[in-house]
Structure 1
């Protein structure tokens, strides 16, 4: 997360950018966008379902009585039932062990995040950003020119959400370079540098389409950098 010096650096970048545009920039940095509590259970369940295959690969199989041996029907039935019961018991025990083991290991934070597919993490980051955009009232600026720059550290992901006034004019792909810079710096352990650089790049784009009005350019959103700790 950011210390006081980092926070001031990003706030200064926001103020500088907003002097050149009618757009309103808002920065949020989160340690994590989701706890992914369901991930260990999903992997534990899938691993448990693989127990029969694991037993077969391990050489465990259900044997039936030899048809040519002097078995009575009752003896053959009892032997077959015992073999099936033994195989089922071994399968159930292995499934329980695998479920508990994988679930316990997967509950460890870094392991849980590693086990979560990248697509899921990106989706959670996007949803978190959308929720923040509405919760922080970025959609209520006078010209609908609010812009949220959001970075989620654990996911190594960033999102930019522009209100409809900007989205109608600026193609979403124009923000790609700024977001790539932000993600690269965050991965390198420099989130403040990434945010400041992204703010400057976004400010340049906004200045092209929404230049500042020297006579009427109110600061409608706070310049503070919001930090959200791990869930």
Structure 2
């Protein structure tokens, strides 16, 4: 499924943030990441493991260099002096098979859908969370006046969503609220309607912010009201 991020979608999300922040002194920021990691190390790991283990399965079947064209002549050595040649051919054939397995598995696990399946969920969750924290800090949500910054973060290729709240608001709110916001955004992404997902998540966060941090006489906009694409 392809998520459509038209200017209208981005404008709707920006308007939703502005409307939400009119009810609170807190700050809400939204980020949509197309990809938080290449996961190249995961593909390399699978390829290396397959290259080491899969060719071993050929040994019980009497692995012979002659199986690979050009590495065997079909004649058996009759003298001990030819043993080195046979061993060399066997090693070359085995190394060639390992290389072919490595390249094949690496290419297969580099396909986005396959890569997502073979990457442990805990690894994807950790990298999305790290990317969300990097955005939280990069955009100064940790230095708002009352420490009430909230980041709503979605990672497209990972199908993961994170909500990060600063300490000023996190400790005062039932954690189920953040779970509801995550669920709302996930539902919008699944329905190919990111604007609706973000709007609902923003609204839920705004409600708890307004409850604990209503707008004061001075309510500066400390963080820009827009969806950031990375």
Q: Tell which deviates more after alignment, 101-110 or 152-161.
A: 101-110
Q: Which residue of 2 aligns with 1:221?
A: 223
Offset of 1:52 from its aligned partner? 4.1
Identify which of 18, 30, 34 aligns with 1:31.
34
What TM-score, normalized to structure 1?
Answer: 0.82
Checking the alignment, whether the CA contact within 8 Å between 2:139 and 2:223 is kept in structure 1 is: no
> Would you say 1:153 and 2:156 are equivalent positions?
yes
Give yes or no for the alignment of 1:164 onto 2:192.
no
Structure 2 counterpart of 1:107: 110
Residues 185 and 197 in structure 2, CA contact (< 8 A), matched pair in contact too: yes
Task: Confirm or deny: 8 A CA contact 2:112 2:157 kept in the other structure.
Answer: no
Matched ranges for 1:33-112 at <5 A: 33-56=36-59, 59-60=61-62, 88-112=91-115
Q: Separation in 1 of the partners of 2:220 and 2:26?
A: 10
What's the RMSD between the two structures over aligned residues?
A: 2.4
Determine which structure has more spread, i.e. the larger CA radius of gyration. 1
| Partner residue, 1:193 | 196
- Spell out, residue by residue over 1:24-81, the C-alpha distance to the aligned partner (whole angstroms, 9 max, x if none): 1011111111111222211110101113432135x1269xxxxxxxxxxxx8977987
Please state if 1:176 is matched with 2:176: no
Counterpart residue number, 1:12: 15
* More divergent stretch after superposition (6-15 vs 130-139): 6-15
- Secondary structure of the structure 1 residue equivalent to 2:151: strand
- Unpaired runs of 5+ residues, structure 2, are 65-77
CA distance in 1, matches of 2:176, 2:89: 60
Equivalent position of 1:65 in the other structure: none
CA distance in 2, matches of 1:18, 1:108: 40
Equivalents in 1 of 2:55, 2:9: separation in Å? Answer: 54
Write the distance in 2 (CA, Å) between the matches of 1:61 and 1:224.
Answer: 62
- Give the total of aligned pairs: 214
